[in-house]
Amino acid sequence: MEAQRDQWATKLGLILAMAGNAVGLGNFVRFPTQVAQNGGGAFMVPYFIALFFLGIPVMWVEWVAGRYGGKYGHGTLGPTYYLMARESLKPRSAFWFGVISGMLAFSLTVLLNSYYLHLIGWSAAYTYFSAAGSYFGQPTGEFFSNYLSNHGQVMLFWGITVILLAIAVGQGVSKGIERWVKVMMPLLYIFAILMIIYIFTLGSPVDPNWSTIDGFRFIWTPNWSYLGDHLWQVMLAATGQIFFTLSLGMGIIQNYASYLGPKDDVALSGIATVSLNEFAEVVLGGSIAIPLATAYAPKIVPPDVLQQGKTAALEWIGQKFGLGFSYTSLPNVFVSMGDIGRLFGALWFLLLWFAGFTSAIAMYNYLVAMLEEDMHIKRSVGTWVIFLVYLIAGLPVIYINGYMDQVDAWVSFQLTLLAFFDIIIAVYLFKPDNFWRELHEGAWIRVPEFYKWVTLYIAPLLLLIPMIGYFKPLVQTTLEWPARLAII
């Protein structure tokens, strides 16, 4: 006897939950970082190619797979992919496809959360530090490293974040997750829009030669020569970003889609998720960090670099972009803004916290669903089991230097690997015609026929770029560890 599975209570709740799942730190921190480090407008060309020919088709594949699993009472990859692979394979072989994808999804989710939850915790801490003005009047770089070495404080903000996550997930899908995202997501969009309105009024706050418009120009002027000179690197960055930002290759889109009714629309809902995410990424995420950094360049770029001119300064900003940038250079900008800087900084970090939180809820729910459905552990118990798993997995991030980058390299590779499994299992083994039929079951729109070919041939080819690209550095850096640990 199947127990009655939880389902999304409202269409709006589902769409906001899916948007919350995809919209994360990737949109507001990782995206501007990738743009800045990959030639600005040079990055946007392969980015949009990857969006249309890789991101959108894989998003549909995952929605189809998720709803299909849900029909049989499954919200995790193992059993779902077993059922789908059965369309072409004998049960024994299908079983192995299920096992491998299930294990990949589990290890990926735990590894990603080992550092992702810390980043969300940092954002919570910095919301408070900004509002309280704690780093005002101090070197922001030093403040940040002091914060990181204060493990008690780091754990406190991590703990607040993860306990709230546990509460939300413990309440279930319709009564917990859906209610939380219905508050957080609209606020997130409102905060971002308020910040951008302010940015548009800024002009040149420090020096007439440096305006926010220069930042927009940097992103939106296609830079063909840079693209030509760094083709592989930029393509790799763009395809990798599409993956990360859409939350593909992890199993969490499938999990959320499994709480649909059997005839709920997946074609339109999938594209709505992509649109909400891309709006939050290229429109909102692209209009905050880079324009601000450019307008405040004279305050954050060293004078000798500034003297070499705009291109050199923008390059400097590009290289510096990244996590450190978000927690040191941007706070520097907030300090330079004067009184409003405290409010602006607090809004920015609270926005990051909401963005990260609503993605983390999806991942948390995946793991809890795994315990609940595949191992028959009660949700209320499973939630705290996962809390412990997260706690243990997160400790090395605090104590071992360089661990976070290493895990990130593993995660990036595994995401692409699992997405490859998505296409192999949920399209090829499930049979392309079944996939296409499922995609349109209950759908309000018809997906143009050529997307079937894109899904079958183009998406897997494009996927090879990050798979190959992430593999080499992964092996290289992993092999360095024995020597590194020997030093400790």
Q: Is 210 helix (H, G, I), strand (E, B) or coil?
A: strand
Name the residue among 364, 363, 362, 382 with its Cα closest to residue 372. 382
276 forms part of the interface with ligand PHE (CB under 6 A) = no
Q: Which is nearer to ligand PHE, 245 or 326 (CB)?
A: 245
Structure tokens at 93: 């072989």
The alpha carbon torsion through 114, 139, 345, 164 (nearest 10 deg) reads: 30
8-state DSSP, 477: H
Structure tokens at 255: 């999990």
Q: Which is nearer to ligand PHE, 188 or 306 (CB)?
A: 188
The beta strand positions in 37-175, using DSSP E, are none
8-state DSSP, 485: H
| Phi-psi sector, 430: left (phi>0), alpha (psi -120 to 50), beta | alpha
Q: Which is nearer to ligand PHE, 61 or 295 (CB)?
A: 61
Q: Which residues make Cβ contacts (< 8 Å) with residue 19, sequence separation at least 6? A: 185, 273, 276, 277, 280
Interface of this chain with ligand PHE, residues 160 to 219, rule: CB under 6 A: none
Q: Which is nearer to ligand PHE, 211 or 287 (CB)?
A: 287
Pairwise CA distance, residues 43 & 123, whole Å: 27
Task: Pick the stretch among 22-30, 34-42, 158-166, 208-216 that binds ligand PHE (CB under 6 A).
Answer: 22-30
CA angle, corner 347, sides to 343 and 353, nearest 5? Answer: 145
Task: Pick the stretch among 21-29, 64-72, 309-317, 418-426 that binds ligand PHE (CB under 6 A).
Answer: 21-29
Task: Pick the stretch among 45-53, 190-198, 240-248, 319-327 that binds ligand PHE (CB under 6 A).
Answer: 240-248
Site map 289..318 versus ligand PHE, x via CB under 6 A: ------------------------------
Site map 360..389 versus ligand PHE, x via CB under 6 A: ---x--------------------------
Task: Pick the stretch among 25-33, 71-79, 194-202, 319-327 that binds ligand PHE (CB under 6 A).
Answer: 25-33
Sole binder of ligand PHE in the list 22, 297, 361, 418 (CB under 6 A):
22
359 forms part of the interface with ligand PHE (CB under 6 A) = yes
Pairwise CA distance, residues 369 & 356, whole Å: 20
Task: Pick the stretch among 18-26, 63-71, 185-193, 432-440 that binds ligand PHE (CB under 6 A).
Answer: 18-26
Quote the least distance from Cβ 219 to ligand PHE, whole Å: 18
Q: Which residues make Cβ contacts (< 8 Å) with residue 389, sequence separation at least 6? A: 110, 367
Amino acid at 404: M
Start-to-end C-alpha separation, the chain: 54
Quote the least distance from Cβ 446 to ligand PHE, whole Å: 28
24 forms part of the interface with ligand PHE (CB under 6 A) = yes
Name the residue among 83, 139, 169 with its Cα closest to residue 358. 169
Q: Which is nearer to ligand PHE, 29 or 266 (CB)?
A: 29
Q: 210 phi and psi, to 5 degrees?
A: -125, 115
26 forms part of the interface with ligand PHE (CB under 6 A) = yes
121 forms part of the interface with ligand PHE (CB under 6 A) = no
414 forms part of the interface with ligand PHE (CB under 6 A) = no
Quote the least distance from Cβ 28 to ligand PHE, whole Å: 8
Binding residues vs ligand PHE (CB under 6 A): 22, 24-27, 244-245, 247, 250, 252, 359, 363
